[in-house]
Structure 1
Amino acid sequence: MGRKCTEGRWVVRPFVFKRADSLWPEGSTLLHVYLCVGPDRDRALTRLVTSAHEALKGFAVAPVPPHWLHITLDQITDRSAALISQGERDALVAELGARLADFSPFEVQVGSLLSYHSGVIADLHPDDGIVALHRAVREAIRAVRGDEAVRYPWGVQHLTVAYASGAVSSDDAQRLLRRVRPSHASLHVTEVQLVDVTANSPAKTITWERLATIPLGSTSGTPGEHVGAGGPRPSC
């Protein structure tokens, strides 16, 4: 994955899904901890993303539907989800609940929209709350599963709006995204989700089954309703 310059314009290359720093194993699912977007709750953010999708019609990108929007806090990298037992999952939920018990809900602004090497993303700010959540989540995973489980390369976080599915001029995409108004929306962070994630490389989609909800400021997680990863996701 990368970008090259063609006739003075950066060209986005198709996105590649990964487990830690390697290719995502075909046919396997991976546990993650997400901040999920609720389309019914986060209406302004849903409108922002929908406007971006409209602006990008005709581009080689796979738009992320509003009900699959998420921010990745961490990925559990030591084993595929099928090899992590229910007891191990329960232990992880308990540890997450204990470490997030002192967190209070907070607001984060989503935007501006950016044409990026992976597709189209929305910046997040201020991001210190998300950084603190990531550190707590990572320490919870490490405490339960060890260092091999926390090899996901976590950097400056974002909300993915669309995954690149082919060569795209990022200059042309950015000019259209710049016109999307309003250019920002608020996300109210009240909980994190433990999810079992499926990556479809040909379709460039991420879907998941929600396993547990861990509210901020609570000492317990709420087991998630069982839903097939390709079907409707329960509200976050």
Structure 2
Amino acid sequence: MYLKGEPERNPGLASLVQGGRQALKDFPLTHVEDPWLHITIDQITDRPAAAIPQDERDTLADALSTALADFEPFEITIGSMLSYSSGVIADCHPDDQLAALHHRVRETIRITRGDDAVRYPWGVQHLTISYANGEASSDDAQRLLRRVRPSHASLNVDSVHLVDVTADKEAKTITWEELAKIPLGTAL
């Protein structure tokens, strides 16, 4: 389950991400393209996505739609951007609603698919801006990222996306096929 960054709907986020890309244009990074910006809410880990039949996917999407119908949309702040050896991420704050969303999604997956379906280690959430594809000083990168303005941006969270992810470790990219978009707060 992903939250999509959707810079086209969030101009402040678009400016933040573009500022980070521009600041680090000479670094060995693979920047996450706009359609693939995301925050991971949870991952199904019991078997490869290709092994999950369509009827099970539909059942999960229906269960998530029901479970999230009374979960009201909310807003979080993305930023500041942080440089790591693995790439560039942006913090998410406040994260209490994000954590509550994760718990609701995880519980729904467990009820629908069993406890083994969700073994993804969920921690402090972030939006990945870039993946490292070579060696460089993360300190030098951080000094440049600190100058990016705006340093923060709002993200309206009004849906989650059930996706079938493809990770290319060589190209340092993550892409997906969207299976279902599940809106938040649709209960009457």
Residue in 2 aligned with 1:190?
158
Query: Which of 47, 65, 68 is 2:33 aligned to?
Result: 65
TM-score of the pair, normalised by structure 2: 0.96
Residue in 2 aligned with 1:210?
178
Q: How far apart, in 2, do the equivalents of 1:49 and 1:129 lie?
A: 23
Residue in 2 aligned with 1:15?
none
Q: How far apart, in 2, do the equivalents of 1:168 and 1:80 lie?
A: 34
Task: Select the structure that is richer in helix.
Answer: 2
Write out aligned runs for 1:52-131 (5 A): 52-131=20-99
Residue in 2 aligned with 1:167?
135
Residue in 2 aligned with 1:13?
none
Q: How far apart, in 2, do the equivalents of 1:37 and 1:169 lie?
A: 27
Unaligned 5+ residue runs, structure 2? none
Q: How far apart, in 1, do the equivalents of 2:8 and 2:130 lie?
A: 20
Pair 1:200 & 2:168 matched? yes
Residue in 2 aligned with 1:223?
none
Residue in 2 aligned with 1:51?
19
After TM superposition, the runs of 4+ consecutive aligned structure 1 residues lying more than 2 A away are none
Q: How far apart, in 1, do the equivalents of 2:116 and 2:166 lie?
A: 21
Q: How far apart, in 2, do the equivalents of 1:119 and 1:150 lie?
A: 26
Residue in 1 aligned with 2:126?
158
- The Cα shift of 1:146 comes to 1.1
Query: Which of 98, 102, 106 is 1:138 aligned to?
Result: 106
TM-score of the pair, normalised by structure 1: 0.77
Pair 1:176 & 2:178 matched? no
Structure 1 counterpart of 2:71, which letter? Answer: F
SS at match of 1:109: strand
**Identity across aligned pairs (percent)?**
64
Asked if the contact 2:13/2:154 (under 8 Å) is kept, the reply is: yes
CA RMSD of aligned residues (A): 1.0
Report how many residues are paired: 187
Q: How far apart, in 2, do the equivalents of 1:166 and 1:98 lie?
A: 44
Q: How far apart, in 1, do the equivalents of 2:77 and 2:2 lie?
A: 17
Identify the structure with bigger relative contact order (alpha carbons < 8 Å, sequence gap 6+): 2
Asked if the contact 2:15/2:150 (under 8 Å) is kept, the reply is: no
Deviations along 1:207-234, whole A, 9 cap, x unmatched? Answer: 0111101100136xxxxxxxxxxxxxxx
Deviations along 1:12-51, whole A, 9 cap, x unmatched? Answer: xxxxxxxxxxxxxxxxxxxxx0000223211110111011
Q: How far apart, in 2, do the equivalents of 1:170 and 1:188 lie?
A: 30
Structure 2 counterpart of 1:62, which letter? Answer: T
